[in-house]
């Protein structure tokens, strides 16, 4: 019964919501039935009108089902649905089933720790996954209280939405919850290492795998401190107490997302329990994620959108609040600058693709089902939505938060829509927001802003000429002293006289959402002016330069000149941590001489690392890219044998595997050495690094092994699968991997039988032939994406990857001194 199911449509959800009022789920999970399956018993109490509907359940076997004591036929379950004929009144439905553990980060996922072979399970119910773990009415607007009992191995600890009580002999009971949407129900069970604390009457908890105990202990002070600071600031902003009792943060293995906001028990991917030294960039990312998930407890959990196409509200709001709280209430006051380097391009790139979509669902064209809505959880839903909300808050912060609080109070433990939130803001004093909603939330794509010096104007080109016009209130900075003045850009042309020959930066503080491209005079001046520009302005300039590369509007040689000029004196590790890897990925392969271009990055990164304070985070950020760009095998091997990359920088586990990964790409190591390194220190982290390094080897056997992970011939964890995909495709191994481009077109569609949802798209993206820079590949991908029988979960990643490929080709064609593209002749098949 687990094989097929139909994704719930919006129309079906609306009909079921009209018919039902769900009151309580009582769930019993038996986790003692072995490694493959578990028992799940659901008792759900609900009221209904008279009509026909269905319960969602995707089980290995339904042992029994009753409705108000009368037996139901388990054989009627089709496509994951148990049909129900209901009379008006109160009902109790009971269903006992055997369910299968999943290994793709969704449903009840089971993972085995490579470090000690201990098993762990956790429940991820987001987007269609809940029915693989328990029978339910799976849609966000049928909230109910949840009571849970668990039978687990006697040496396990059980965690969940409510505080857990051990009853003895492996039996656990979780405290009943407030009304929750089904996608917010969670469970985490295994031999966890658990830490407890308290703040302002709220019980706090942290947990991670037993093998990470020492690392969690070391990180716990910062994690608890960030949690306390975020609670205080969120209480101040919302004016409403945290409503879900305990607050536990569980760091779990093989998790697909960064985190999931389950009420009272948030799941994080456990690489966020740092086991090696990390940059400040990584710590800011963790801090904003912690605050992001905490903001969800109000915006998303206390009040939940009615349907999936309004879930952008959850993510956009949490994205905005998470960065704001980290910047205002924690030690990471530079979180907004970090956000500029880390998130803004993610959103702008997504918003310029053919698959762009409005931030908010448009009436009449909303996501037809849950599977379709999942594809729209991207940089638009997060980064663009957050930027738009920040613009609204910038109008009047007091009114913004007064409206949010009104929204929370009106719909407490219920569901709401964008119209409800807009109504709260307007009642709070925001005025008529219809133009704002239409222009910024329901219009896809960014406007493009350019300085036209000859015309003495700023030109604004809308992404969609037929869409609502937007105005852009921004600053203009003029170098070299970077004085600023205000400008409102309205219509296609706004007068602005730029000083002759001076560099000019539009929107230097990134106050609006637009694609801003530097004019030729400013571009030419960047090697001189960017290194000395103020920190916030440098972030904006780097983003504009990154956009120019994406739009094929700047020569890669100029970008390398900017890198060479700026990196040796760069004092912002956000720039080093983000710009250098971007240059290696997006610029170096398209330079006239990629090997020489990589050497430029290598030399300036090492120069910066060796000039930095020994042991500093800035030194580490520079050194990481110095390693990634290295072309000297002997130098790399010296770093494995005790010579530090830079004085004061310890070659710990993470840095050591970065060196091994680069050696693998260059052919400076082999599988035997990688296997020996893994055997000497086997953890989840090193197992993943081993997979990426192995796939990076310039050997047919390595590529065949990586491909077998993609096509299902070799089992792996989700982290190993993704790592192998990224390792497989190397720009200096094109002759070796080019035949797999044709295989990707033939074999990728069949992966929909191996994976679903999040993992299907993730694997398709990781294994996309990014180094096959040919028109033949581009045409083939577009034809495949247009296939009517292609699984919907594959179409979006293919379209996005095709857009990236087209832009890489456009960059090479615009600047023909870049390397010639591979042959467009059809590639012969490869037999592993």
Q: Provide the annotated active-site residues.
A: 293
**Is-contact 121 102, C-beta < 8 A?**
no
User: What values do phi and psi take at 80, rounded to 5?
Assistant: 75, 25
Q: 247-252 and 202-208: which strand pairing? A: parallel
Element (H, E) at 602: helix 594-611
Measured CA angle at 747 (ends 742, 752), to 5 deg? 145
> Tell me, what DSSP letter sits at residue 437?
I
| Alpha carbons 224 and 198: distance in angstroms, whole number | 9
Q: 157-160 and 202-208: which strand pairing? A: unpaired
| Alpha carbons 40 and 573: distance in angstroms, whole number | 49
Bridge partners, residue 274, by sequence? none
Where helices occur in 68-161 by DSSP H, the ranges are: none
Bridge partners, residue 187, by sequence? 160
**Is-contact 551 517, C-beta < 8 A?**
yes
> Tell me, what DSSP letter sits at residue 427?
I
Distances, alpha carbon 772 to alpha carbons 83, 370, 824, in Å:
48, 33, 9
| Alpha carbons 588 and 625: distance in angstroms, whole number | 13
First to last CA, the chain: 33
State both tokens at 9. 């449509």
Element (H, E) at 95: strand 89-100
E strands, 163-246, are: 164-168, 171-174, 187-190, 193-199, 202-208
State both tokens at 499. 């000083």
Distances, alpha carbon 187 to alpha carbons 124, 137, 183, 289, in Å:
8, 18, 12, 20
| Alpha carbons 323 and 331: distance in angstroms, whole number | 12
- Minimal CA–CA distance to 603: which of 560, 640, 559, 542? 560
Q: Under the phi-then-psi rule, with left for phi > 0, alpha for psi from -120 to 50, and beta for the rest, what region is 245?
A: left
Q: 145-151 and 20-30: which strand pairing? A: parallel
Bridge partners, residue 195, by sequence? 206
SS (H, E, C) 205-219: EEEECHHHHHHHHHH
Q: How many CA atoms lie within 13 A of 631 on its CB side?
A: 12
């Amino acid at each position: 019964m687990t094989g097929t199911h139909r994704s719930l449509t919006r129309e079906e959800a609306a009909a079921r919501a009209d018919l039902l009022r769900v009151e309580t789920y009582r769930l019993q999970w038996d986790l003692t039935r072995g490694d493959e399956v578990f028992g799940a018993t659901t008792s759900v109490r609900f009221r209904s009108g008279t009509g026909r509907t269905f319960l969602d359940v995707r089980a290995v076997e339904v042992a029994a089902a009753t409705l108000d004591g009368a037996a139901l036929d388990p054989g009627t379950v089709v496509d994951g649905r148990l049909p129900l004929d209901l009379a008006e009144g109160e009902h109790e439905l009971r269903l006992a089933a055997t369910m299968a553990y999943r290994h793709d980060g969704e449903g009840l996922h089971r993972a085995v720790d490579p470090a000690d072979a201990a098993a762990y399970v956790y429940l991820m119910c987001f987007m269609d996954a809940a029915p693989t773990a328990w029978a339910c009415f799976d849609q966000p607007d049928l909230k109910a209280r949840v009571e849970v009992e668990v039978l687990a191995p006697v040496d396990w600890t059980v965690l969940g939405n409510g505080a857990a009580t051990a009853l003895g002999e492996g039996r656990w009971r979780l405290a009943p919850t407030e009304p929750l949407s089904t996608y917010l129900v969670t469970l985490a069970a295994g031999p966890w290492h658990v830490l407890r604390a308290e703040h302002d009457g709220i019980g706090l908890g942290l947990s991670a795998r037993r093998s990470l105990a020492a690392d969690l202990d070391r990180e716990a002070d910062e994690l608890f401190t960030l949690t306390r600071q975020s609670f205080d600031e969120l209480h101040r902003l919302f004016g409403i107490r945290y409503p879900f009792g305990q607050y536990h943060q569980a760091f779990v293995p093989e998790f697909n997302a960064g985190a999931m906001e389950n009420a009272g028990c948030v799941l994080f991917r456990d690489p966020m329990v740092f086991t090696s030294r990390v940059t400040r960039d990584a710590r800011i990312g963790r801090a904003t994620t912690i605050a992001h998930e905490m903001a969800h407890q109000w915006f998303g959990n206390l009040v939940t959108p009615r349907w999936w196409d309004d879930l952008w509200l959850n993510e956009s709001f949490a994205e905005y609040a998470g960065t704001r709280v980290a910047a205002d209430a924690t030690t990471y006051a530079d979180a907004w600058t970090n956000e500029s380097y880390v998130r803004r391009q993610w959103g702008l790139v997504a918003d310029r693709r053919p698959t762009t979509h409005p931030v908010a669902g448009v009436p009449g064209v909303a996501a037809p089902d849950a599977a379709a809505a999942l594809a729209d959880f991207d940089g638009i839903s997060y980064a663009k939505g957050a930027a738009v909300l920040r613009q609204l808050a910038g109008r009047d912060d007091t009114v913004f938060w007064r409206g949010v609080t009104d929204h929370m109070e009106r719909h407490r433990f219920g569901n709401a829509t964008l119209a409800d939130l807009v109504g709260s803001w307007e009642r709070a004093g925001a005025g008529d927001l219809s133009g704002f909603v239409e222009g910024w939330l329901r219009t896809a794509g960014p406007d493009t802003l350019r300085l036209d010096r000859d015309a003495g104007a700023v030109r604004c080109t809308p992404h969609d000429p037929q869409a609502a016009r937007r105005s852009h209130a921004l600053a203009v900075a003029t170098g070299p002293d970077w004085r600023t003045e205000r400008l409102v850009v309205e219509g296609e042309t706004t007068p602005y006289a730029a000083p002759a020959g001076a560099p000019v930066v539009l929107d230097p503080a990134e106050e609006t959402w637009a694609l801003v491209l530097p004019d030729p005079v400013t571009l030419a001046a960047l090697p001189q002016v960017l290194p000395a520009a103020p920190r916030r302005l440098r972030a904006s300039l780097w983003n504009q330069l990154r956009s120019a590369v994406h739009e094929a509007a700047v020569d890669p040689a100029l970008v390398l000149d900017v890198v060479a000029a700026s990196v040796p004196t760069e004092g912002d590790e956000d720039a080093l941590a983000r710009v250098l890897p971007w240059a290696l990925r997006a610029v170096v392969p398209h330079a006239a001489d990629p090997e020489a271009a990589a050497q430029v990055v290598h030399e300036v990164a090492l120069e910066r690392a060796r000039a930095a304070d020994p042991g500093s985070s800035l030194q580490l950020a520079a050194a990481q890219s110095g390693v990634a760009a290295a072309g000297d095998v002997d130098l790399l091997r010296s770093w494995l044998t005790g010579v530090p990359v830079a004085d004061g920088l310890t070659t710990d586990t993470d840095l050591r595997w970065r060196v091994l990964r680069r050696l693998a790409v260059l052919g400076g190591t082999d599988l035997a050495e990688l296997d020996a390194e893994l055997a000497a220190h086997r953890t989840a982290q090193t197992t993943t690094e081993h997979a990426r390094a192995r796939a990076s080897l310039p050997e047919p056997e390595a590529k065949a092994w990586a491909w077998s992970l993609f096509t299902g011939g070799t089992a792996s964890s989700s982290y190993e699968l993704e790592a192998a995909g990224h390792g497989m495709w190397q720009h200096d191994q094109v002759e070796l991997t080019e035949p797999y481009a044709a295989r990707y077109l033939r074999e990728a569609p069949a992966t929909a039988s191996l994976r679903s949802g999040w993992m299907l798209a993730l694997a398709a993206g990781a294994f996309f032939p990014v180094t096959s820079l040919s028109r033949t590949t581009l045409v083939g991908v577009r034809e495949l994406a247009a296939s009517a029988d292609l699984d919907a979960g594959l179409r979006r990643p293919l379209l996005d990857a095709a857009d990236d490929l087209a832009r890489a080709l456009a960059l090479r064609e615009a600047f023909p001194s870049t390397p010639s593209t591979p042959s467009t002749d059809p590639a012969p098949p490869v037999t592993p």
